[in-house]
Amino acid sequence: MKIAMIGTGYVGLVSGVCFSDFGHDVVCVDKDAAKIDKLNRGEVPIYEPGLDTLMARNVDAGRLTFTQDLAKAVSGADAVFIAVGTPTRRGDGHADLRFVMAAAEEIAQVADHYIVVVTKSTVPVGTNRQVKEAVARANPQLDFDVASNPEFLREGAAIDDFMKPDRVVVGVEGDRAAQVMADIYRPLYLRDFPIITTDLESAEMIKYAANAFLATKITFINEIAALCERTGADVKQVSKGMGLDGRIGNKFLHAGPGYGGSCFPKDTRALARIGQEHAVPMQITETVITVNDEVKRRMVDKVRDLCDGSFNGKTIAVLGVTFKPNTDDMRDAPSLTLVPAMVGGGARVRVTDPQGRREGDALLPGVEWIEDAYEAAEGADVLVLLTEWNEFRALNLKRMAEAAPGLRMADLRNIYSAEDARDAGFDAYVAVGRAGFGPGSPDGV
């Protein structure tokens, strides 16, 4: 199969590279000349483990190319995937579809043979119908179908998610488009991965419903964590007891500083807006959005309490600022709430993150970037563990405590325990939904 992939952002680049590894001929298109030049030099503009190696292999094999020339990419293509951004629209929370619709019209203007126009971007229910109308208006003579093929890629594990998916969702209207999509995903079908073929609207809804449900699980356990702090329960034990129930499962039941990233914040807001437009309020989702914002603000209060009620004059070391490990993505990350509050409150903030500086330089003004966690902690008053990178999971806490007499820890990912911190010589320790000790802990002792 020959595939054109419009957009070389996270979804488009990962999908294009993985499709080429299936054996298809893939041309990735982007209007950003600098990005295309970088890709043609073999440089990956995003951080995703293993993507650089996979991309190089398929470029060398001649199956993967990059261009700004849309007409060249669409020529002879069996399917053209739209994988452009759908950011939250300012003012109403809806997904901004300008880039999707522009891509659809541009495809129609250069296509001269039967193609399947596939929406890979996350779009509100009904968008693929709009894409179909836009293509037909732009080129009434074009023979084409549309398909909805939402992505379910976790940043940091995207290649495995693409190659070994829980499921592939394809929304189509007819057998011809269904066959093209089946041929594209044939390598997965042959290995018995589930491929769900459904209508356009159901495919679109599956994406939003899945992400909203996962966001709800995260937010639920964060609320339970707050209650655990007041009652003396341990949220890690509560999560374990809940997760062993097969009806619930243990994934996304880890208490922390709130969800962030490129999907959950944007998709929950969009789903809430879709509900409002159809007079079916998504009350649970709307509450999840509100509570998640409150969780992030509660983390600010938690760290401030650890600072004896004021950030002013304190030196704070922050370990991790990306929204999750194994990515450089900082969209809606908890750090964007917590760190500015500390800087604004008069703290000297040192930050270390394996990949966060690429975006963090612009997003976190006023911080000092440090390469090493131990160097960041030297002489600090408070250590805040905010993103659970592997290098932060096995720290020598005693070494840190010795380098910073009186050091206190806010473990916002529940990696360590009060016993670990006490034995290492920390003066105080707070976590999320678990027992601590010293100033700022639930019991204050």
Three-class SS state of 408: strand
CB atoms within 10 A of CB 255: 27
Tokens of 95: 């997904």
Q: Which residue in 18, 28, 228, 263 is the catalytic one?
A: 263
Please name which of 188, 155, 154, 157 lies closest in space to residue 170, comparing C-alpha atoms: 188
Cβ pair 349, 376 in contact under 8 A: no
Side by side, the strands of the sheet bearing 64-67 are 64-67, 25-29, 2-6, 79-82, 115-119, 144-148, 168-171, 195-198
CA-only gyration radius of the chain, Å: 24
Distance of CA 210 to the CA centre of its chain: 14
Answer yes or no: is 66 a known binding residue.
Answer: no
For 3, the enclosing helix (H) or strand (E) is strand 2-6
Answer yes or no: is 152 a known binding residue.
Answer: yes
φ and ψ of 196, to 5 deg: -95, 120
Three-class SS state of 305: helix
Answer yes or no: is 254 a known binding residue.
Answer: yes
Give the CA distances from residue 249 to residues 90, 256, 269, 376, in Å, rounded to whole numbers and listed in that order.
36, 18, 25, 37
Cβ pair 264, 208 in contact under 8 A: no
Answer yes or no: is 86 a known binding residue.
Answer: yes
Answer yes or no: is 331 a known binding residue.
Answer: yes
φ and ψ of 297, to 5 deg: -65, -35
Answer yes or no: is 319 a known binding residue.
Answer: no
Answer yes or no: is 232 a known binding residue.
Answer: no
Tokens of 35: 């990005």
Please name which of 28, 298, 259, 283 lies closest in space to residue 154, comparing C-alpha atoms: 259
Cβ pair 16, 8 in contact under 8 A: yes
Answer yes or no: is 314 a known binding residue.
Answer: no
Answer yes or no: is 154 a known binding residue.
Answer: yes
28 as an active site residue: the answer is: no
Answer yes or no: is 266 a known binding residue.
Answer: yes
Answer yes or no: is 332 a known binding residue.
Answer: no
Tokens of 275: 């509900």
Answer yes or no: is 122 a known binding residue.
Answer: yes
Give the CA distances from residue 13 to residues 33, 39, 195, in Å, rounded to whole numbers and listed in that order.
15, 10, 22
Binding residues: 30, 35, 86, 122, 152-155, 207, 252-256, 260, 266, 324, 331
Active centre residues (catalytic): 263
Binding residues for NAD(+): 30, 35, 86, 122, 155, 266, 331
Binding residues for substrate: 152-155, 207, 252-256, 260, 324
